Amino acid sequence: MVKQIDRLVTAFLEYLEVERGRSPKTIRNYDFYLRRFTKWAKAPEPSVITMDMIHKYRLWLNRKVAGRDGKTLKKTTQNYHLIALRSFLKYLARQDIPSLSPEKIELAKQEQREVAFLEVEELDRLLAAPKGVDLVTLRDRAILEMLFSTGLRVSEISNLKIEQVNLKRDEFTVRGKGGKLRAVYISSTAKEALKAYLAKRRDTSPYLFICHDQAKSGREKTGGLTPRSIQRLVERYAKSAGITKHITPHTLRHTFATDLLMGGADIRSVQSLLGHASITTTQVYTHITNKKMKAVHQKYHDRARKNTQ
């Protein structure tokens, strides 16, 4: 017999899909987190979800071994569970179903995340790594230039279509997380790399970046290049450029944001260009200003003593 809470979780997931337009991945994740909770709590009625129950659930999450290495769930992962549960409780409140107030669930405090980005010399080597004028090399060079020029997420760039990108205006609009639209701008080097690649294309695929492997079937070739394929090519060129640290497409997104902040851009503009819903997400990049703070310290600190020496 299907329990009431299981029916409500299903209704909530359908609400996210239809009313909120959330991505299939987000819905899968919420499904996993909420089913884990209902299984742990033995399918409770919404009215019996209490702070004491949540406290015990958090203890269980905090002590749960996540893999063979014996490590427990990261605080970030624990918070994903709580965010899903909080969203579900908000849905119940909107449906006038008595349950715990979602505002009572606080997230676990997390350590500040350190963002990996490329230094200027590393970036130059990576962007120069694709050598040649064959179609695949031209495509790869355009992908690397676009990732750094636009700060696009790998999922966003893999879904781009040719008609979206306006090379006359050097800008276009992309639909990011949560279906939100944002403006994206193309640098002159990215524009030239794109033009060279598109000029050599002879296929009819609407996607901006596709697979050109002759061994692939026609259907596989006409679809957009997958995020995993883009990740592999970034890793391959990073290795050929002699970059020893782990590089992903997201590293180029971090480098994009870093470059803007180091160039003097304000954090609100960077938030808009990255498509972050909250400024809190963008503030992970404020460590970039440390270099600027060091320069300020060296220039202005202890000036009286320096002038007497």
Q: Which residue out of 81, 139, 191, 276 is catalytically annotated? A: 276
Nearest in space to 196 (alpha carbons), one of 234, 237, 139: 139
How far is C-alpha 253 from the chain's CA centre? 9
Contact of 259 with 274, CB cutoff 8 Å? no
Residue with tokens 């002699």: 242
Q: Is the dihedral of CA 222, 234, 193, 176 positive or negative?
A: positive
Q: Is 250 a catalytic residue?
A: yes
Q: Is 113 a catalytic residue?
A: no
Contact of 288 with 262, CB cutoff 8 Å? yes
Q: Is the dihedral of CA 252, 155, 113, 261 positive or negative?
A: positive
Q: Is 153 a catalytic residue?
A: yes
Q: Which residue out of 35, 201, 250, 287 is catalytically annotated? A: 250
In a 10 Å sphere around its CB, with 0-12 CB exposed, 13-18 middle and 19+ buried, how is residue 68 labelled?
exposed
Q: Which residue out of 36, 177, 212, 221 is catalytically annotated? A: 177
Burial of 282-299, coded b for 16+ CB within 10 Å and e otherwise, reads: beebeebeeeeeeeeeee
Q: Which residue out of 81, 139, 191, 253 is catalytically annotated? A: 253
> 129 φ, ψ to 5°?
-65, -40
| Eight-class DSSP state of 202 | -
Q: Which residue out of 236, 285, 287, 291 is catalytically annotated? A: 285
Q: Which residue out of 22, 153, 191, 254 is catalytically annotated? A: 153
Q: Is 177 a catalytic residue?
A: yes
Residues 47, 94, 280: CA angle, nearest 5 degrees = 105
Other Cβ atoms less than 10 A from the Cβ of 209: the count is 25
Q: Is 91 a catalytic residue?
A: no
> 165 φ, ψ to 5°?
-90, 115
Query: Cα–Cα distance between 230 and 247 in angstroms, integer?
Result: 12
Query: Cα–Cα distance between 9 and 21 in angstroms, integer?
Result: 17
Nearest in space to 158 (alpha carbons), one of 93, 194, 208, 204: 208
Catalytic residues: 153, 177, 250, 253, 276, 285
